[in-house]
Every structure is written in C-alpha cells, then in structure tokens.
Structure 1
Amino acid sequence: MKIHKEGRRILFFTLLALLAVNLLLFRVNERHLLFNQIFAGISVIVFLLLLQFFRSPFRNLLTHEDLLIAPADGKVVVIEDVHEGEYFDDMRKQISIFMSPINVHITRNPISGIVRYFRYHPGNYLVAWHPKSSTKNERTTVVVESDAGPFVLFRQIAGAMARRIVWYVNEGDEVNQGEEFGFIKFGSRVDIFVPLDTELKVGLGEKVKGGQTVIAQLKVAQPGLFS
C-alpha cells in the first residue's frame, strides 16, 4: 500500500510536530511521566489515523465503455430522480456516495471520454449527507461525454470535515475510466447524474469501491456486459 501524494506533505509535517512536542514534554515535564506516556499514545493514534486516511491501495480497475464505475469508496446514500440545473437543466437520475473519514478518499473517473465542462464552486461546509450539500457546499462539477455516448456529470463535494478539494482535470481533457481525477480531504461525498433511462446496478445503502464497483449500465447502441 502506498501513501497518496496529497498526504505526504501533511504526514511529514505532522510527524515532525508530534515528535517535537513529545520530546519537549519528556524533557520539561519529567515529573508527570504518565501524562507524557498518554500524550505519546494519543500522538501515535492520530498519526496512524492520518496514515490510513491518505492510503492509496492497489486496485485492479474494471473498465468497459458501457459501464459506469464507482468514482469513490463509500456508501450509496441517495438514489433519486432530480432536476439538475447547473449543466443539463433537465431531470436526471442522481446517485450519491458518502465517503466517511475511514474510506479511501481518492476520486476516480467513472467513465472514459472528453471533459466538456468543469467548474469549481466555493461554498459552505454542511455535513456531506445534507440534502443541500450538493448545491451549497464547496464542490467541483465535471461533465464528461463518454466514449459510449451519454454525457455524465459528477461532483466532488466537501463535507463538514473536508476543507480542501483537489482536482486533476480541466475542460477539453481526455480522461480514462478508473484513473484519478481528484482527492477530497477528510470526509466528503460524490454525486453522479446520469440519464433517467440508465439501468442502475447498485441499491440504496450499498457499499462501493472506487474503480471496481459497477454503478450502472449506460444506454448505448451496442449491448453491454449486462444485456
């Protein structure tokens, strides 16, 4: 397992800070050995939690132009037909994946194609499962014209703990299914918007893995794997 590039700087300086504080405590607070030991234990736990948050495990990526693959690890918390007003201005099927702090927070391209639209929106930090987080929170919106034909919109959404969204795509880029398109730090959500006639392959409450779990089958001229 590797450490993601977005976490290396944070982990390095966190480790230096924790080491410095612990060394200082053991030097100037010798009479309170128990307190020093407890603080050292807490420091180890904090660092290990950060370490697991920024992990980048190896994945055998599933790729197929007919299939929409999960863009992130987490739990499906929303499946509903909604009006998508930022790009399509029509009814779309929304699938939302909540990423807890213990999930891998890499976000991956759910399809291959061309990025036709990208926007970054500053915003609030409502809890990621709040219904209005999709339009009120800090977020990015990406629309890809898939190789299979349909346009798919997906959003990185910051949560109450997530304070920074990182993205690696821009309009006009060609993206490959399963490759990283961003990272969200400390708890978040990803929304996907697909045509209403898209056949879903996941249910509400189901756990998914980015780059591996099939979310849906896109409607194309040629039959896909699940036809």
Structure 2
Amino acid sequence: MGVKLSETVIKPLHREGPKFVAIFAAVTLLLFLFEAELGLLGLGLTVWCYYFFRDPVRTLPEGEGLVTSPADGLVSLIEPAVPPAELGLGTAPLTRVSVFMSVFDVHVNRAPIAGRVTTVAYRPGKFLSAELDKASEENERNGIVLEAGDGTRIGVVQIAGLVARRILCEVSEGAELRRGERFGIIRFGSRLDTYLPEGTAPQVAVGQTMLAGETVIARLGVAEPLLSRDE
C-alpha cells in the first residue's frame, strides 16, 4: 500500500493554527495584487505558518517509569539548577533538561509523565534568545508540576524566546494528564525545561533531537546517565 497524501503533506493543526494561517493567506492575496514576487514570498510564509502549527500524531513508547520529552527540538542544556520558586519544588538543585524549539519544529507541548497537575504558575519576563542559559531565569515563562500516583513530581517550564510572544497553557490545576497528552503550545520559537526528580538521571545528551511524547529523556529511579555530554 502507498503512503497517503494526508500522511505526508497534509498535517493536522493545533486549534491555534487556522486563524493564523487565514491571516497569512489574506496578506498573501493582497501581496499578489501588488507584485507577483511579493505574493510568492507570502505564499511561502503561509506554508511555513501552516507547518508551524502542525500537530502530528505521536506513538508513545511503552514501559514503566518513562519520562518522555515535552517538546520537539534539540537538547540545548543538561545541568543542575534550582527550579523556579513558583513551582514549589524546593531550593535544592535538580537536573534540568532544556529542549530548544526552532521556528521549524513542532511547538505542541506534551506531558512527560502521567499525573495530576498540582501547580500552574505564570511569570512575566524578558524575551531573550531561548538558547541562552539565563533565559530560564529572566524570560517570560509558564510552569506546571505533574505529580504521579506514587508522589513523584516533575516540573515543566514553557519559556518564551526571542520571537515568541505567546505562551499557551491549556490545563489547570487538578487536571489529570496521560503521558504524552498535549498541555500547551508556544509561538514562535522557544524552549522547554524539564526538572527531573532527585535520583533520576537524563538518558539523553546535549545536541540530541527530541520528539515530544516519543523520545525517552529519563527513567524514574535510574540514577546513572545513559550518555555523557562528551559522547
């Protein structure tokens, strides 16, 4: 059987997408009225906008204690860091895995573990490049804490980037999420930080490509990293 066109070109959109695609398309039509070359540029940007808001189906890995990536993109940082105070995860450093999303990555965010949302905390801030270490402390952000049935808690922080101007969190405190379930989106270009619980080491390395809901970044209770940063 051949691959269907709908599975290769036509992608499902996040609900935030249609209105932006419509705006880009309308501007493109106006540009074509002025000059064909400008219209072609607008067409290209409209296609990009469509793919920016794509929300592909993901196949979740099976297994106990898995922590999957909450975002598509590249692992930009793995380091010990004190979680944002508003998350209530304490003042001791935890392992932070940062995933940088370029404007070409899928931007739909997914829960790294199954659990109850115990905290949703928004904090205004700057719009520094999301690749910078200090973006975790200084940029606009929205954090959630997920608590598993055994009491394990993981913090996930959506961080606005240089061109990102809108963090959307679609869950509230008390919500029950499945691992890999969608909880928000950031537009356009940003970063997600995951704070792993004590005694859990990352199973990924800096520079590795992540797929939200699919790539395993850690296994709860496994304290030895699978990869080192030098590998």
TM-score computed with the length of structure 2 as normaliser: 0.86
Aligned AA (2:216): V
The CA RMSD over aligned residues, in Å, is 1.5
Moved more, 99-108 or 76-85: 76-85
Tell me whether 1:192 sits opposite 2:199 in the alignment. no
Helix, strand or coil for the counterpart of 1:127?
coil
Contact 1:82 / 1:92 at 8 angstroms: preserved in 2? yes
Tell me whether 1:170 sits opposite 2:172 in the alignment. yes
Contact 2:24 / 2:45 at 8 angstroms: preserved in 1? no
Q: Aligned residue pairs: how many?
A: 209
* 1:123-138 matched pairs, under 5 angstroms: 123-138=125-140
Name the residue aligned to 2:78. Answer: 79
User: Structure 1 segments of 4 or more deviating over 3 A?
Assistant: none
Name the residue aligned to 1:224. Answer: none
Name the residue aligned to 1:225. Answer: none
Between the aligned partners of 1:176 and 1:166, the Cα distance in structure 2 is: 19
Deviations for 1:139-173, whole angstroms, at most 9, x for unmatched residues?
10111112353110010000001110111111111
Structure ID, larger Rg:
1
Change in 2 beyond 3 A, CA 1:143/1:65: farther
* 1:203-218 matched pairs, under 5 angstroms: 203-218=205-220
Aligned AA (2:47): L
Contact 1:65 / 1:111 at 8 angstroms: preserved in 2? no
Aligned AA (2:151): G
* 1:1-227 matched pairs, under 5 angstroms: 1-23=11-33, 25=34, 36-86=35-85, 87=88, 88-219=90-221
Contact 2:160 / 2:191 at 8 angstroms: preserved in 1? yes
Identical pairs, percent = 37
Q: Which one has a larger percent strand, Structure 1 or Structure 2?
A: 1
Between the aligned partners of 2:132 and 2:105, the Cα distance in structure 1 is: 19
Aligned AA (2:18): R
Contact 1:63 / 1:177 at 8 angstroms: preserved in 2? no
Between the aligned partners of 2:23 and 2:81, the Cα distance in structure 1 is: 43
* Stretches of structure 2 lacking an aligned partner (at least 5 in a row): 1-10, 223-231
Aligned AA (2:15): K
Between the aligned partners of 1:219 and 1:64, the Cα distance in structure 2 is: 13
